[in-house]
């Protein structure tokens, strides 16, 4: 009998003043077809109703909320999530984004099939519920072993929310997002390579 591997995936969601978006974001994560997930919400001292909006989601035991004691910024919130993550894989979802219900399943399948340490994927931008432009990336550039990353990896966008990463690759390199830096995603992904 063959056992199908279902590794835990840690999904890190930094939250700061996103009360009007967080419900849709968390709903898209909770509705994933792949269910072996932990959702780490890092609340970064919002001044709007974000904390109250999170309250209705706490009945889902896969959700863990970590409260910062002072606003520290996106990088610090992501770093807090990384420290708390126990999954074999880590992914980041910005709190004003929604993800396709099959995204985690597709990433797990790709990572396990190809033994990739980094899986990247495309996105479709939308504003006020209207799709703006579809920006797919070629399937040949989706999976990378950390020791065999080539130039094609660097030609892709380096947003944290476009990567599915084996946590051991992050931990072995002691990777963190630089606090206080704009475009904080770039150094993280360059060092991942």
Q: What is the pLDDT of residues 77-109, one digit of tens each?
A: 999 999 999 999 999 999 999 999 999 999 999
Tell me which residue has tokens 């994927």: 121
pLDDT at 70 > cutoff 90? yes
Tokens of 95: 């709190």
Q: Tens digit of pLDDT for each residue in 103-140?
A: 999 999 999 999 988 888 777 766 666 665 655 544 44
Tokens of 148: 């065999």
| Domains in the chain: boundaries | 9-192
Tokens of 177: 């997002």
Q: Candidates 3.40.50.150, 3.90.550.10, 1.10.510.10, 3.40.50.300; correct CATH number of 9-192?
A: 3.90.550.10
C-alpha to C-alpha distance for 84 and 172, rounded to whole angstroms? 16
pTM: 0.81
50, 43 in Cβ contact below 8 A?
yes
Tokens of 163: 């990567």
pLDDT at 57 > cutoff 50? yes
* DSSP β-bridge partners for residue 63: 39
- Give the gyration radius of the chain's Cα atoms: 16
């Amino acid at each position: 009998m063959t056992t199908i591997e279902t590794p835990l995936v840690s999904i890190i969601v930094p939250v700061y003043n996103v009360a009007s978006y967080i419900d849709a974001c968390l709903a898209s994560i909770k509705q994933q077809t792949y269910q072996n997930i932990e959702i780490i919400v890092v609340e970064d001292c919002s001044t709007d109703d974000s904390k109250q909006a999170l309250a209705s989601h706490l009945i889902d035991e896969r959700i863990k909320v970590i409260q910062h004691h002072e606003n520290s910024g996106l990088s610090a919130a992501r770093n807090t999530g990384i420290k708390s993550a126990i999954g074999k894989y880590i992914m980041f979802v910005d709190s004003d984004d929604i993800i396709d219900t099959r995204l985690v399943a597709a990433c797990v399948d790709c990572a396990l099939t190809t033994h990739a340490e980094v899986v990247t994927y495309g996105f479709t931008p939308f504003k006020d519920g209207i799709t703006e432009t579809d920006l797919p990336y070629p399937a040949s550039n989706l999976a990378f072993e950390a020791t065999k990353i080539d130039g094609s990896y660097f030609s892709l966008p380096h947003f944290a929310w476009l990567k599915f990463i084996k946590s051991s690759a992050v931990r072995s390199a002691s990777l963190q997002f630089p606090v206080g830096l704009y475009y904080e995603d770039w150094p993280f992904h360059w060092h991942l390579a």
